[in-house]
Amino acid sequence: MKKIARTLGVSLLAFTAGNAFAVSDEVIQQSFYPYNNWTPTFDGYEPGVVVNQSNVEKYKEILDEALYRFISDGWIEIKTAPTTDFPLTSDYVEATRKYSDAVTLNANGTLNGYVAGRAYPQEPDANDPDAGQKLVWNYQYGFNSGDSETIEPFWWTYRDMKSGKVERVLKFSWHFMNFNHRVTFEPKPEFADNPGEIYRGIYSRVLEPFDLKDTQLLIHRYQDDTKRDDGWLYLGFQRRVRRLATGQITDSFLGSDLMIEDFEGYNGRVSDYNWEYAGTRNLLLPFYYHNEMELSSDPADDPDGYRFVDVEGKGNCFPKVTYQLRKTYTLIGTPKDPNHPIGKRVINLDSQTMTMASLVTYDKKGDLWKWFPIGKAHSDHHHERNKGMGVALDDFAVLIDVQAMHCTTLQFKSIITDDVNQPRLFSVQNLRKSAR
């Protein structure tokens, strides 16, 4: 009955939104195609310039606070390139056009009437007290991984930033799939049998090293944002599935520099933070064409000949890619939990893709703690299978713990596909089935 009511509701919303409340083309153009008739600029900045210790002061305003400090300290110099368009798939754009006007915010900050696409394509209004909340929903229901994505191989390398020593390499297979709000892959907009009202499934399996091999992680995120995720871990050495206490998301994940809350930029409930829109600015972000970068020799045995983005700079903690000047919305997230270890997250949300392209995290004392840029690759200039997918692909990320002088680099082979990403993969039983 609940499902029928929901389906009916979605249909009605689709009908009404498709007719009476369609969002204007101007809003759509501005939100999804900002670079059609405009290119961000900054006085004295020319694409192609190398920003380094000697000239960093000139570009301070187009660098996020952490990157500015790193360049100032001589940890890295960055190459720049012209701003390029990273259009999302037209399916997502059309869903926005169709449904977004019907979306409202509930008193508790959750969404009402959301079906698919970008919830709030309008330019954020500094006078709107809910502007930050709306932006974070744009991220939460963004198209970061498309409807469905497989990342394999996915290497996490733990590095001592002082010495550059590689301490540990974890190799994963990682899968993301939206159970609903789907726009690209069938079924659209959702899977029929989803009594738990799961929004998103995350499944990962450790391929190496030996001590963690066959460890599997499953996370269910629910439509109801106030509901805590459910998580299960299959431990190879115990041969059983263990229920996870998913509330402790500030814990380091498998000893890396990432908290579980850091995945994809922010992996918690929207309702766990207060969100504030702190303005729009143009920043240099690691957006690039993967195939045009100087790539690593890893993974050497990739059957498609795919190679990761390489590393450089202090401790080999930085991506060897070009940065481009892009329009971003600055979002400040402050944890509601007074015991949360983070003071605030300063998130620079890429306005076109609504991905968290760079995050600067401060501790309770207000000191810089972590920097987490997520390199985005254009899907037409990446693996052959991603052509035409219209996703700004996660391609490289690093979490630098400035205080510990330690980093974890993440190198991706992201493929937008639903080949294996079906609900069955995101079930507890699959953990057992896949186990040895």
Binding test (CB under 8 A) with other proteins, winner from 53, 194, 274, 417: 194
Report in angstroms how near the CB of residue 367 gets to other proteins at its nearest.
13
Report in angstroms how near the CB of residue 205 gets to other proteins at its nearest.
14
Total chain residues near other proteins (CB under 8 A): 49
Does 244 interact with other proteins (rule: CB under 8 A)? yes
Question: How far apart, in whole angstroms, are the C-alpha atoms of residue 293 and residue 287?
Answer: 11
What are the tokens at 6?
């929901």
Q: Using CB under 8 A as the criterion, what x/- string covers residues 149-168 for binding other proteins?
A: ---------x--------xx
Q: Using CB under 8 A as the criterion, what x/- string covers residues 387-426 for binding other proteins?
A: -----------------x------------------xx--
Radius of gyration of the chain from its Cα atoms, rounded to whole angstroms: 21
Between 243 and 387, name the residue whose CB sits nearer to other proteins. 243
Does 429 interact with other proteins (rule: CB under 8 A)? yes
Q: Using CB under 8 A as the criterion, what x/- string covers residues 255-274 for binding other proteins?
A: xx------------------
Does 343 interact with other proteins (rule: CB under 8 A)? no
Residue 27 near residue 107 (C-beta atoms within 8 A)? no
Beta bridge partners of 203: 175, 218
Question: How far apart, in whole angstroms, are the C-alpha atoms of residue 393 and residue 413?
Answer: 9
Between 259 and 391, name the residue whose CB sits nearer to other proteins. 259
- DSSP H or E segment with residue 28: helix 25-32
Q: Beta 166-178 vs 198-208: how paired, if at all?
A: antiparallel
Q: Calculate the alpha carbon distances from 124 to 56, 80, 117, 253, 276 in Å.
A: 29, 27, 17, 33, 11
Does 137 interact with other proteins (rule: CB under 8 A)? no
Question: How far apart, in whole angstroms, are the C-alpha atoms of residue 137 and residue 390?
Answer: 20
The counts of H helices and E strands in the chain are 6, 20
What are the tokens at 111?
């969404």
Does 55 interact with other proteins (rule: CB under 8 A)? no
Neighbours of 86 (CB within 10 A): 24
Between 54 and 163, name the residue whose CB sits nearer to other proteins. 163
Q: Which spans of this chain sit near other proteins (rule: CB under 8 A)?
A: 3, 158, 167-169, 191, 193-196, 198, 208-211, 213, 220, 227-228, 230-232, 237-248, 250-252, 254-256, 341, 404, 423-424, 427-429, 433, 436
